[in-house]
Chains A and B, each alone.
Chain A
Amino acid sequence: MQLICVSRGSFCCGKGFAESLARKLGCACVGREELLDKATKTGIAAGKLEMACLNPHGMNERMMLEREHYHAFATSYLAERALAGPLVYHGLTGHLLFKGVSHVLRVRVVADMETRIKSVQESLRLNRSKSRKYIEDLEEDRRKWVRTFYNTNWDESRGYDFIVNMERSSVDNVATAFCAVAQLPEFRETPASRAALEDLLLACRCRTLLARDDRTYNSSFQVQADHGNVSVSYLPRHAKAADAIASVLEGVPGAKQIFCTMAATRILWIQEQFDPATDTFKHLVELASKWGAAIELLRLKATETPPIVERASLVAGPLPAECRATGGIEDDSPPEAETSRLSEGGVEDTFTELVRLGKAGGRTMIEGTINHLLAAIDRSISYSLVVIGDVFLDKGKAARTRMSRELASSIHEGLRVAVVQAEEMKERYLFTPRQFLSMLGGLGITVLFYYLVFANQEVVLHFLTRKETLWRIVAAGSVGVFVPTVAYASGKAVHSMLRLIKME
Chain B
Amino acid sequence: MELFSYPLNLATILQVVLLGFIGGTLSGFIGSGGAFFMTPGMMNLGVPGVIAVGSNITHKFGKALVGSRRHGEMGNVDKKMGAFMLITAAVGIRLAVWINSALISNATAGNAARKGAATDLYISVVFTSILSVVAISMLRDILGSSKSDSAGPSQQISAYLSRLRLFPMIHFPVSDVKVSLWVVLTVGLFTGYLAGTIGVGGFIGVPAMIYVFGMPTAVATGTELYLAMFMGGWGALNYVFEGMVDIRLTMLLFLGSLIGVNIGAYGTKVVKEVMIRLVTSLIILLCVLSRAIAMPMYLRQLGWVQFNPALDSYFNGASKILLFVSGITGALVILFYVFRAYIDRRRVYATIVVEPEAKASAQAGGA
Chain A residues within 8 Å of B, Cβ to Cβ:
48, 51-52, 54-63, 147, 236-237, 245-246, 249-252, 255-264, 289, 292, 354-360, 412-413, 416-418, 449-450, 453-454, 457, 460-462, 464-467, 472-473, 475-476, 479-480, 482-484, 486-488, 490-491, 494-495, 498, 503-504
Contacts and interface: CB of A to CB of B under 8 A. Distances in A.
B361 interface: no
B273 A354 contact: no
B58 interface: yes
A122 to B, nearest CB: 27
Contact of A464 (B247, B251, B344): B247
A479 B237 contact: yes
18 contacts: A55-B155, A60-B151, A63-B152, A237-B270, A251-B360, A255-B356, A263-B349, A355-B351, A360-B351, A418-B74, A453-B248, A461-B246, A476-B237, A479-B237, A480-B240, A483-B250, A484-B62, A494-B259
B93 interface: no
Interface residues of B, number: 72
A416 B351 contact: no
Nearest to B237: A476
Contact of A58 (B155, B250, B341): B155
Nearest 5 pairs of A and B residues by beta carbon? A487-B62, A52-B151, A58-B151, A416-B75, A358-B349
B150 to A, nearest CB: 8
Contact of B4 (A147, A413, A465, A473): A465
Contacts of B132: none
Interface residues of B, dominant DSSP: helix
B62 A483 contact: yes
Interface in B134-155: 145, 149-153, 155
B262 A483 contact: no
B120 to A, nearest CB: 19
Interface of B: 1, 3-4, 8, 58-59, 61-63, 65-66, 73-76, 145, 149-153, 155, 175-177, 210, 214-217, 233, 236-238, 240-243, 245-248, 250-251, 254-255, 258-259, 262-263, 266, 269-270, 272-274, 341-342, 344-345, 348-357, 359-360
Contacts, number: 201
Given A56-B214, A472-B243, A495-B262, 18 more contacts: A56-B217, A60-B273, A147-B176, A249-B356, A250-B360, A257-B354, A257-B356, A260-B351, A292-B345, A292-B349, A358-B349, A461-B246, A464-B240, A466-B243, A472-B240, A472-B241, A475-B240, A484-B65
A487 B351 contact: no
A453 B247 contact: yes
A237 B272 contact: yes
Contacts of A354: 351
A327 to B, nearest CB: 38
Contacts of B341: 236
Nearest to A488: B66
Nearest to B158: A56
Nearest to B149: A62
B302 to A, nearest CB: 24
B63 A487 contact: yes
Given A258-B356, A479-B58, A494-B258, A503 B247 contact: no
